[in-house]
A and B are shown apart, each in its own frame.
Chain A
Amino acid sequence: MNGGKYALFRVQGRGFALAVQQLAQVLDAPRIFALPELRKPFAGVLLLGEEPVPFFDWRRPDPISAPPASTPYVVLCNTEFGMLGLPADEARQVVPLNLNDAEAAGEEPLPGAVGNCRVGEEQFAVIDLELLLTTLPGEQ
């Protein structure tokens, strides 16, 4: 079977799913520190202990608040280039997903989405972090 256990989240009304083995921690509203000259959608860093962790702000821009806007949760993920923080509005449950049942990601998918899985009445975009990082412009 192509799948495994996934943690479910929501951001700006959209669901996303991350493989639990890539999930490091979920932080409750950490302070985000803006930094200049970053490639979007990177917006700054948060601190995990004393270590700065990149904050990947994949939300649609808020025209009112100055970036980076605060977020209820930051999902910390492990990538081959180091840890990464993703904003989330809600943290849901962990569920088994079979990616063979996934549907196409649809229009304007979240970065790194490889398909949508249905859990109950809701759709969750399955995020491939390596694919997400390839959406960045410039070198790695």
Chain B
Amino acid sequence: MTTGAMKLVFRLNGIGFSLPVDHLVEICEDDFVWQELADRSSGEPLLGRLAWRDGSLPVFDLRGRLGLPPDSPFSEVQKLLVLSGRPGPWGIMVDGVEGIFPEGDFSAHRLPLLLQHADLTYRQLDLWRTEPLVCADAETWAGCWGWQ
């Protein structure tokens, strides 16, 4: 069994992301039961609340935060990533999960200076199998939504 640091690779609108598995609580692939859907017309970052483990899980709109189209043409069945947070776990919907890989499979690169700006939620790319991935940070995203 591997005990070293690992990273999850997932996709959203064809874009690859890497996330330390320390941030990950669970990947859900089954039917989701929405307990509550947020009113999106108000620009609310919350998509809604899903039934999860005897309780309710807030699910945030990552696509909206990243400026991606709301309905992905890349996947019909979305997956739920449950991430760790200080007030409690929270979730995001993604198009697909490539798997969990040892940190040694990734080579970190600073985002080129020309691409940097103050509102970015990432500063680094992970090169993985000849593909640059966005280095995701659950805490940064949680901060964007005040979930901390």
A binds B: yes
Interface residues of A (CB under 8 A from B): 33-39, 42, 45, 47, 50-54, 66, 79, 81-84, 133, 138-140
* Interface status of B38 (Cβ within 8 A of chain A): no
Contact: B114 with A42, CB < 8 Å? yes
Contact: A53 with B112, CB < 8 Å? yes
Distance from A62 Cβ to chain B, minimum over Cβ atoms (Å): 15
How large, as a class, is the contact surface on chain B? 20 to 34
Measured in the bound complex, the distance between the Cα atoms of B122 and A42 in whole Å is 16
| 4 interchain residue pairs of minimum CB distance | A36-B66, A54-B114, A138-B117, A54-B112
Distance from B115 Cβ to chain A, minimum over Cβ atoms (Å): 5
Contact: B67 with A36, CB < 8 Å? yes
How many A-B pairs fall under 8 Å by CB? 68
Within 8 A of A (CB), among B1-55: 12-16
Measured in the bound complex, the distance between the Cα atoms of B66 and A33 in whole Å is 15
* Interface status of B125 (Cβ within 8 A of chain A): yes
Cross-interface CB contact of A50 among B16, B107, B120, B121, cutoff 8 Å: B107
* Interface status of B105 (Cβ within 8 A of chain A): no
- Cβ-closest chain B residue relative to A84: B114
Query: What residues on A are CB-neighbors of B68 within 8 Å?
Result: 36
Measured in the bound complex, the distance between the Cα atoms of B131 and A81 in whole Å is 23
- The 13 sampled A-B contact pairs (Cβ below 8 Å) are A33-B132, A35-B115, A35-B134, A36-B66, A36-B67, A37-B119, A37-B120, A45-B112, A45-B125, A54-B114, A84-B114, A138-B117, A139-B118
Measured in the bound complex, the distance between the Cα atoms of B16 and A45 in whole Å is 13
Contact: A138 with B118, CB < 8 Å? yes
Distance from B100 Cβ to chain A, minimum over Cβ atoms (Å): 21
Contact: B109 with A52, CB < 8 Å? yes
Contact: B109 with A66, CB < 8 Å? no
Interface residues of B (CB under 8 A from A): 12-16, 66-68, 73, 107, 109, 111-115, 117-122, 125, 127, 130-132, 134
Contact: A45 with B132, CB < 8 Å? yes
Cross-interface CB contact of B109 among A38, A50, A81, A133, cutoff 8 Å: A50
Query: What residues on A are CB-neighbors of B125 within 8 Å?
Result: 35, 45, 52
Distance from B111 Cβ to chain A, minimum over Cβ atoms (Å): 7
Contact: B119 with A79, CB < 8 Å? no
- Cβ-closest chain B residue relative to A138: B117
With contacts A82-B114, A138-B117, A139-B118 taken as known, whether A37 is within 8 angstroms of B66 at the C-beta atoms is yes
Contact: A52 with B132, CB < 8 Å? yes
